[in-house]
Amino acid sequence: MRVIAGTAKGRALKAVPGTNTRPTTDKVKEAIFSMIGPYFDGGRVLDLFAGTGGLGIEALSRGADRAVFVDLEGASIEVIKHNIQAAGLAASSEIYRNEATRAVKALEKRGIAFRIVFLDPPYRMKEMDNLMQELAQRKLLEPSAVIVVEHDAAHSYPEELPGYDQIKRTQYGDTAVTIYRYRPEFESGSPVQMEE
């Protein structure tokens, strides 16, 4: 595993020991960033089931301002710390050991909003649509924020969710990636025209 593009291009990333964490392959990571935009002009990133931190690190390397990494496993937290240091991105990173929904509640208190959210939970967890609703209700998303859900290809997330447009679903072997854009104007029932 490595950083594919940007300021930390080519830096090697450590994997989490054992079989509990399934890191996003470089091929899938490259596909994700070609879909959501190869480079970013600032913005905050939330990597909520961070694992190795690979997705958030890639976003920082490609121009995001700041990333918050959250994982429940102590082994993952140690690997994320190592990988952020190796990529030279510690100054723009925050790392928290927490369960996802508790982390979301804690982040709400800080009043910050994210431009990109990565949700790459263990495949047994299939409630990312509920978590997306929580992110919206707690005002943790910028208008037009992009949410990337990596999941088991056997599972499908709904095409229509209140406040969200599904903009892409692709499959790579047993992994699927579903991408949503946050459209808060659709929650109120009064669509507002937004530029792409």
CATH class for domain 26-186?
Answer: alpha beta
Locate the domains of the chain by residue range: 26-186
pLDDT in tens, 62-104: 999 999 999 999 999 999 999 999 999 999 999 999 999 999 9
Rg (CA), the chain: 16
Q: What is the DSSP string of 23-53?
A: PPPHHHHHHHHHHH-SS--S-EEEETT-TT-
| Angle ∠(100,167,116) on CA atoms, nearest 5 | 40
Q: Give the model confidence (pLDDT) of 126-142 as tens digits.
A: 999 999 999 999 999 99
Which burial class, exposed, middle or buried, applies to 131 when counting CB atoms under 10 A from its CB (0-12, 13-18, 19+)?
buried
Percent residues over pLDDT 70 in the chain: 93
- Say how far apart CA 124 and CA 131 lie, in whole Å: 15
Look at residue 168 in the predicted model and tell me its pLDDT.
Answer: 94
Longest dimension (CA), the chain: 49
User: What is the predicted pLDDT for the residue at 187?
Assistant: 54
Listed in sequence order, the DSSP H helices in the chain are: 26-36, 54-61, 74-86, 100-108, 128-137
Mention every residue, 6+ apart, whose C-beta is less than 8 A from residue 128. Answer: 119, 121, 149, 151, 157
Angle between helix axes 54-61 and 74-86 (nearest 10 degrees) is: 20
pLDDT over 90 for what percent of the chain?
A: 81
Q: Taking phi first (over 0 means left), then psi (-120 to 50 degrees means alpha), and beta for anything else, what does residue 143 get?
A: beta
- At 19, the pLDDT band (50, 70, 90 cuts) reads low
Residue 23: predicted pLDDT: 76
pLDDT value of residue 194: 40
